[in-house]
């Protein structure tokens, strides 16, 4: 009973994280219209690090142990620096709707690193349904979007690999430190470097920065960089990295909906049917995780 309750809590928390993360790529797409990718990446990390530091101090959290520093460095490399920077670079070349397709590969990447770094051992049928879900997302989004950029595609693949590593490493560490503590310490760990980069890449003029870009910077700093991880790492730690990670298969469709509504980017009518099929694969992947 306790295991079932923990699993349900993990899936609920993970789903909240996915919903929050779904706005990340559309917001990044808006922000890179007025900010450089490097400034956007470093500034969002610095803002989130300030909030995380305040939380750690106010709630009296003890410092991580020395043997945690490597894991925190991996988390920072994957989700604080690597994924935000590489996706921001990619979104200079393609629409957010096109880039969102690659998020469908993230559950598989997370599951693989969950095995390599988290010691998990999903059943063979899990890999079948996880692969089918990833293939469905890729087929749907690529067939419904005519934009192509080989450079952007390679950047997104690299971003997915680093993000999957950061998710799995953070989830493993969350079992001992707690979800919000892990992302908070990773932000603090990387803050000195990101502050230097922020100063080095400041825009020459602020006059050309429109309100949507400021709002997007605020969103990716507060929600994508901190709040979303509070729920996401908690979900992965409670429900299992490979299992809860399959919820990311739904993220492209939340993201495509936001891209269509907020940015006016074209979204195929087949999204509803594809979402239902993805839900089927997620359910079976959960069963065999």
The DSSP result for 203-215, as a single string, is: -S-STT--HHHHH
Question: Residue 200: pLDDT above 70?
Answer: yes
pTM: 0.82
With tokens 């080989």, the residue in question is 150
CA-to-CA distance for 185 and 252, rounded, in angstroms? 28
Q: Is the pLDDT of residue 186 over 90?
A: yes
Q: Which helix (H) or strand (E) holds 234?
A: helix 228-239
Q: What is the pLDDT of residue 113?
A: 83
CA distance 81 to 198: 12
pLDDT band for position 93 (cuts 50, 70, 90): confident
Domain assignments of the chain as residue spans, ordered by start: 2-288
Rounded-to-integer distance, Cα 231 and Cα 176, Å? 16
Burial of 262 from C-beta contacts in 10 A (0-12 / 13-18 / 19+): middle
Residue bearing the bigger pLDDT, 56 or 254 = 56
pLDDT over 90, % of the chain: 38
List the single range of 63-67, 74-78, 222-226, 277-281 with lowest mean pLDDT: 277-281
| 65 vs 154: CA distance, rounded Å | 36
Question: Picking from 39-53, 111-125, 193-207, which range would have the lowest pLDDT averaged per residue?
Answer: 111-125
Dist CA 51 CA 256 (whole Å): 29
Q: Give the residue from 146, 193, 171, 139 showing the smallest Cα distance to 243.
A: 171
Which alpha helices (H) appear in 147-210, and where do they start and end? 150-177, 179-200
* pLDDT at position 269 over 70: no
> What is the mean pLDDT of the segment spanning 225-229?
92
The pLDDT mean for the chain works out to 83
pLDDT band at 3 (very low <50, low <70, confident <90, very high): low
Q: What is the rounded distance in angstroms from the CA atom of residue 89 to the CA atom of residue 93?
A: 8
Position with higher pLDDT, 109 vs 267 = 109
- Inform me whether the pLDDT recorded for 24 exceeds 80: yes
- Say what the pLDDT of residue 78 is: 95
pLDDT confidence tier of residue 261, bands split at 50, 70 and 90: confident
**Selected residue with higher pLDDT from 115 and 70:** 70
Higher pLDDT, 168 or 53: 53
pLDDT for position 142: 63
Instruction: Show the CA angle centred on residue 12, arms to residues 247 and 129, nearest 5°.
Output: 25
The pLDDT value recorded for residue 279 is: 64
What mean pLDDT do residues 253-281 have? Answer: 68
* Mean pLDDT computed over 132-150: 65
User: Which of 93, 107, 122 minimizes the C-alpha distance to 17?
Assistant: 107
Highest mean pLDDT among 160-169, 170-179, 186-195 belongs to 186-195
């Amino acid at each position: 009973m306790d295991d079932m309750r923990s699993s349900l809590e993990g899936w609920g928390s993970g789903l909240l994280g996915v919903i929050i993360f779904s706005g990340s790529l559309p917001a990044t797409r808006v922000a890179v219209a007025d900010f450089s990718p490097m400034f956007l990446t470093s500034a969002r990390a610095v803002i989130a690090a300030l909030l995380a530091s305040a939380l750690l101090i106010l709630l009296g959290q003890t410092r991580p142990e020395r043997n945690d520093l490597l894991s925190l460095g991996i988390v920072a490399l994957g989700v604080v620096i690597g994924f935000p920077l590489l996706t921001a670079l990619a979104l200079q070349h393609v629409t957010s709707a096109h880039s969102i397709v690659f998020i469908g590969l993230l559950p598989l990447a997370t599951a693989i690193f969950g095995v390599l770094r988290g010691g998990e051992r999903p059943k063979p049928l899990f890999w079948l349904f996880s692969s089918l879900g990833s293939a469905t997302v890729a087929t749907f989004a690529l067939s419904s979007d005519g934009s192509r950029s080989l450079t952007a595609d390679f950047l997104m693949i690299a971003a997915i690999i680093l993000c999957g590593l950061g998710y799995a490493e953070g989830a493993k560490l969350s079992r001992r430190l707690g979800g919000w503590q892990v992302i908070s310490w990773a932000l603090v760990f990387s803050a000195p470097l990101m502050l230097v980069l922020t100063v080095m890449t400041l825009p020459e003029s602020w006059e050309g920065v429109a309100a949507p870009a400021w709002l997007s910077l605020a969103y990716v700093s507060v929600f994508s960089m901190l709040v979303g991880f509070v729920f996401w790492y908690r979900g992965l730690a409670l429900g299992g990295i490979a299992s809860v990670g399959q919820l990311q298969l739904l993220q492209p469709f939340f993201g495509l909906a936001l891209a269509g509504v907020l940015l006016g980017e074209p979204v195929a009518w087949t999204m509803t049917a594809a979402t239902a099929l993805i839900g089927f694969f997620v359910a079976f992947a959960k069963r065999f995780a």
